[in-house]
Amino acid sequence: MPELPEVETTVRGLQKRIVDKIIVDFWSNHKNAIKKPESFSSFKERIIGEKVKEIKRIGKNIIIHLVSGKILLIHQKMTGHLLVGKWELKEGKFVSKNKSFEDRYNKYIHHMFYFKDGSMMAFSDLRKFAKIELYSKEEFLKAEVNSLGPDPFTEGFNVKYLKKVFSKKRTPIKKVLMEQELIAGIGNIYSDEILWETKINPLKIASEVSEEELKKIIKATRKILNKGIESGGDSFSDYRNIDGNKGSFEKFQKVYQKEGEPCSRCKIKIKRIKVGGRSAHFCPNCQK
């Protein structure tokens, strides 16, 4: 699933490419992804003619503000990503002259936004779990996205806050780091890397994490997420940026998907275990 760095990479790309563009049409072959309004025809009617004002990120959500005040929310979920370019619909499939779009993960196009200048924004989603929602300004104030925890780059992500929320958690720290209502944006990849950086075992109970360890978590979280953004995200699986290209964060990973490989600190083999139904990769020697 695209996490904070991948979503931030997408948002920064969109800010450069679709701001001030006018939506003139919308196509979809997976209308169930449109969660709000429930009627596809209503969504299409309300989105056509809208002009893009700005694009922001809340956690793993892409928030597109329109000039009229309406707000378009896109959550890429497990395998979704946005692409910007030009395509032609031939025999039921979108084709493009852009060679980057030939990557197979860029071919699962289920939604297409058409802009007045002839450019397009495609939504490729292999497993079709993603969602699209359109809100009025008033409706958005009550949206679920506003109940997410603090972003790791905000002042609200501090020792006092973490101490308060972790003290109530008798579950593994790995699982807690990924709870979006507590901390917005961290998922499986970056939680593994944060815990390796801080030398904390993923099974350690959150309420038993010391204040000194909380300070390390905050520092490591910002450092690693920044590195993820600088490297254009992680494309170990299917994430691609808006131009259809891979990110390079895999080059900097220390533990994620490295089961059986030697730890870069101590050379002991990396292990993989299950925590809350998700895989956790860690060094059994460094992270005790």
Residues with active-site annotation: 2-3, 60, 278
DSSP-assigned letters across all residues of 93-157: EEE-S-GGGGSGGG--EEEEEEETTS-EEEEEESS---EEEEE-HHHHTTSGGGGS---TTSTTS
Closest by alpha carbon to 280, among 202, 176, 186? 202
In one-letter notation, the amino acid at residue 39 is S
In one-letter notation, the amino acid at residue 196 is W
Closest by alpha carbon to 134, among 70, 57, 69, 50? 70
In one-letter notation, the amino acid at residue 31 is K
Alpha-carbon distance of 176 to 170, in angstroms, equals 9
Task: Supply the Cα-derived Rg of the chain in whole angstroms.
Answer: 20
Closest by alpha carbon to 81, among 26, 2, 27? 2
Which contiguous run of DSSP H or E holds residue 216?
Answer: helix 211-230
Question: Nearest 10 degrees: CA dihedral of 256, 180, 29, 135?
Answer: -150
